[in-house]
C-alpha cells in the first residue's frame, strides 16, 4: 500500500512538465530527459524542450511507447513585444509537432502601461494554436511582483485565449511563489473559464510541489487538480520523486 507521501509523489509526477531549456542542450540531453519521463510505467504530463528539439522528443517518446505530450516555448525568455516573431515561432513549433506552447507575455510592456500588445500577442498565438494545441501563457510573476499587476496579466491572458496561465520562465531571479500562485488561481476561479494553472521555477522537492497542489485544491477544489488543469514545470523535482516511487 503506497504511503501518503508516495501518493502525493505519484500526483506530482502526473502533473509534471519535465523540462530542459538550456542553450547547451544536445541530442543526448533530450533523449535522457525523455528516457526519464516515466517511473514504473507512470509518466509525467509532458516534456518541455526548445522548439528545435520537439521532433526528436516526439520520436523518442513514441519509440518508448509513451503518449507523453511534448511542450515547447516561444517568445522566450524575454517576452518581446514583437507579435510577428511570437506568432512565427508558434507556427514553427506546431509544425514541428508540439502539443503545447508556452509563450511569454510581454510583461515589461505591461509594466509600462501597454495592455494592447500583450493582448494581441496572446490572441494571435491562440489563433494559431486553435483547439488542437494548448497555449500556456507565462506572465513572469516574479518580474511583475505587485499583486495587481499579476492579476491584470492573468486576466488579460485568459481573456485573450490562454488555456493555462504560468508563473515563470525559470530564467529570472524570482520564479514561482505561493503568493503569486494564489493570485493567479483566484483569477482563474473568478473567470469561470476552463483555464489551467502552471507553477514553474524553483520547485525542486516533493514538499515544494505539495504546497502548490494543496493551494490549488483549497482554491479550486480537489476534483479540479488534474493534469488537464494543473501543471508543475520542473527538472530537479524528478530526482526527489524517483527516490520515493522506485519502491511503489
DSSP at 201: S
CA distance 59 to 53: 10
Burial label for 173, CB within 10 Å (0-12, 13-18, 19+), is exposed
Asked if 32 is an active-site residue, the reply is no
DSSP track, 41-83: TEE-SEEE--GGGHHHHHHHHHHTT---EEEEEESTTT--S-H
Catalytic residue of the set 102, 163, 208, 240: 102
**Phi/psi of residue 8, nearest 5 degrees:** -65, -35
* 208: annotated active-site residue: no
The Cβ-side half-sphere exposure at 85, using a 13 Å CA radius, reads 15
Task: Give the active site residue among 69, 126, 136, 166.
Answer: 166
Catalytic annotation, pick one of 17, 163, 198, 208: 198
Q: Are 43 and 12 in contact (CB under 8 A)?
A: no
229 and 13 Cβ atoms separated by less than 8 Å? no
> Which residues are bridge partners to 231 per DSSP?
198
247 belongs to the catalytic site: no
Instruction: Give the distance from CA 245 to its chain's centroid.
Output: 23
Query: For the chain, how long is the longest CA-to-CA vector?
Result: 54
Q: Are 142 and 178 in contact (CB under 8 A)?
A: no
Catalytic residues: 102, 166, 198
Amino acid at each position: 500500500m503506497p504511503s501518503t507521501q508516495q501518493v502525493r509523489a505519484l500526483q506530482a509526477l502526473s502533473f509534471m512538465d519535465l523540462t530542459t531549456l538550456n542553450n547547451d542542450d544536445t541530442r543526448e540531453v533530450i533523449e535522457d530527459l525523455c528516457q526519464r519521463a516515466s517511473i514504473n510505467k507512470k509518466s509525467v504530463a509532458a516534456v518541455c524542450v526548445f522548439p528545435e528539439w520537439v521532433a526528436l522528443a516526439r520520436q523518442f517518446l513514441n519509440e518508448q511507447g509513451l503518449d507523453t505530450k511534448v511542450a515547447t516555448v516561444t517568445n522566450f525568455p524575454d517576452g518581446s513585444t514583437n507579435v510577428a516573431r511570437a506568432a512565427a515561432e508558434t507556427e514553427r513549433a506546431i509544425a514541428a509537432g508540439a502539443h503545447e506552447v508556452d509563450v511569454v507575455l510581454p510583461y515589461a510592456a505591461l509594466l509600462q502601461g501597454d495592455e494592447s500588445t500583450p493582448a494581441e500577442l496572446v490572441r494571435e498565438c491562440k489563433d494559431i494554436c486553435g483547439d488542437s494545441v494548448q497555449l500556456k501563457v507565462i506572465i513572469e510573476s516574479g518580474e511583475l511582483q505587485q499583486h495587481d499587476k499579476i492579476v491584470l496579466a492573468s486576466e488579460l491572458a485568459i481573456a485573450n485565449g490562454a488555456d493555462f496561465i504560468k508563473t515563470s520562465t525559470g530564467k529570472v531571479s524570482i520564479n514561482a511563489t505561493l503568493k503569486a500562485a494564489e493570485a493567479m488561481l483566484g483569477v482563474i476561479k473568478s473567470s469561470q473559464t476552463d483555464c489551467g494553472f502552471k507553477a514553474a521555477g524553483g520547485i525542486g522537492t516533493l514538499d515544494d510541489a505539495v504546497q502548490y497542489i494543496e493551494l490549488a485544491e483549497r482554491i479550486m477544489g480537489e476534483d479540479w487538480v488534474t493534469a488537464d488543469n494543473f501543471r508543475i514545470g520542473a527538472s530537479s523535482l524528478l530526482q526527489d520523486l524517483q527516490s520515493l516511487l522506485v519502491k511503489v
